[in-house]
Amino acid sequence: MKNSSLLYLLLAFSACSSPSTSSSSNDENEAISYQTVGSVDRLEQELDLFISENAKIEVIASGFEWSEGPLWLADQNALIFSDVPTNKIWKWTEKDSLGLFLEPSGYLGTETNKKEPGSNGLTLNADGELILCQHGERRIAKMNASLSDPTSDFSVLVSDFEGKKFNSPNDLVFNEAGQLFFTDPPYGLDDWNTKELDFQGVYRLDPDGSLNLLLDTLNRPNGIGLSPDGKTLYIAQSDAQKARYYAYGLDGEGNVLSGKILLDATESVGTQLPGLPDGMTVHSSGTLFASGPGGVLVISPDGKHLGTIKTGQGTANCAFDEDESYLYMTADAFLMRIKMK
């Protein structure tokens, strides 16, 4: 089923309203009840280890243009995420609902005709500082403010490769050694931007500031993740003709040793299953939760497709909270979540 009738109502609501959180409770001591959508398509019994049969997909906020880059802030018990076209980062908590976290988030200039000016992927470094993929500025940056008092003051970590400006850095992940891996597809470029690189790269930025090109052969590298042991780098390719998830073996220095197609989802691409391989998160068990055709695909480390969390929307990214009790999903105009076992 592509969409439920409730989802159509939510779409109509979000098209004419500012971002909002849906709740059926007015009593702060009463549990909040959210509207639910979609379903879970179970392909393998192993999925039951992660998601119970009665788990529901909850819509906890709506009204965004394209939500992306979810990141859990454990010290605030909060989720922040990008709304790329509006150049904003939003913050959601169970207690306080939805509020603006940061604006502008990815573009600090004066042009008004940019399609995707905002931040995209978000992460924290070892010091708990916010690191952003800034589409509009075409760079990786650090916010020079605390998470409790955010401001649009940034330091540039890296903005070019061999003197040529990046396309539009999209997603990023740190390993335990403090090396930052990120992708650089062209989605944030506008017609009036100059594309300076003739490839779409996957890079590694080392703590000493040195930048290393790891891959230049993927057409649309997008989401990125690391296995729990840091030895496998996962890349999602958002290409309708080659909608794939790749796994690359890494050596102790973070260099690519080998690569393979972990899962090819090209045959699933279509109007009945909206979306392409995009952002991902890796469970502590090593299982991938990766956005793609239909919603979020659950993929074992050996490439078995265990099932799909079918949101009914083009789904950009996902992230767990601190103890992996919920999976949060940025799905087009919506912020959703599902309870984990």
Q: Which residues are known catalytic residues?
A: 278
Burial of 131 (0-12, 13-18, 19+ CB in 10 A): buried
Question: Residue 182 pairs with which residues in a beta bridge?
Answer: 172, 203
> Is 68 annotated in some ligand binding site?
yes
> Is 278 annotated in some ligand binding site?
yes
Residue 41: phi, psi to the nearest 5?
A: -95, 110
Burial 172-190 (b: 16+ CB within 10 A, else e): bbbbeeebbbbbbbebbbe
Residues 6+ apart with CB under 8 A from 296: 289, 290, 308, 309, 311, 315, 318, 327, 329
Query: 268: number of CA atoms within 13 Å, CB side?
Result: 22
Q: Which two tokens stand for residue 339?
A: 């309870």
Cite the annotated binding site by residue number: 68, 170, 222, 278
Cite the annotated binding site for a divalent metal cation by residue number: 68, 222, 278
Cite the annotated binding site for substrate by residue number: 170
